[in-house]
Amino acid sequence: MDDTPLDPEQQRMLRFLRILVTGLTATMLAGLIILIWLFVTRFPEPVPVLALPDAIALPDGTRATAFTRGPDWLAVVTKEGEILIFDPEGKTLRQRIAID
């Protein structure tokens, strides 16, 4: 490399560039710390897992294609075009709804 001294204009530009790089580094570190802090404060507890029954007593000849859970009911969509509403334990059929 060349060991020629820098003129004052180049020294000012290098000093300005050093300030910009330092500012960018500080900004990125502050953003990373803020992101980590948000994850720690927003997700303090694990999401509770809903208890599901081991089996659902479907009527004979029906095949399930979809399932969903409400606060006090279970719903099963069948291949035959019905929605079956069960109690939370999945043993008692509460309602049958035909899908047109």
Q: Stretch 36-56: mean pLDDT, rounded?
A: 83
- Give the pLDDT confidence score for residue 85 in this predicted structure: 95
- Give the pLDDT confidence score for residue 5 in this predicted structure: 83
Find the helix or strand (DSSP H, E) in which 98 lies: strand 93-98
**3 state DSSP class of 91:** coil
Count of H-run helices and E-run strands, the chain = 1, 4
pTM higher than 0.75: no
